[in-house]
Amino acid sequence: MTVEEWKRKNPPIQRKPLTNADRIRSMTDEELAEFLETINSCTCSFAMGKSPCAADECPCWFDWLKEENYEHKNNNW
């Protein structure tokens, strides 16, 4: 079997980008504790580069968790 034949039979695996939620799920207890110390009730707006949202309406956490993890995207994680 040639290399080209092997490549046709074995296409590269397409990996789904890691999200912020994926990164949080994989944290150790120590990493999670450190991460939690850096956030407040509405840090998500800051993390997403948007203006702060009202404390009583912060749906942006869900959006932020679904976003591709910035550090993983830039190979820092």
Q: pLDDT tens across 9-67, in order?
A: 888 887 778 898 999 999 999 998 888 877 765 555 555 555 555 555 555 777 878 88
Record the pTM.
0.49
On whether residue 32 sits in a domain, the answer given is: yes
Inter-CA distances, 13 with 19, 20, 69, 77, Å: 18, 21, 20, 20
On whether residue 8 sits in a domain, the answer given is: no
On whether residue 61 sits in a domain, the answer given is: yes
Domain, as residue range, for 65 = 17-73
On whether residue 68 sits in a domain, the answer given is: yes
On whether residue 51 sits in a domain, the answer given is: yes
Please tell me the total count of domains within the chain.
1
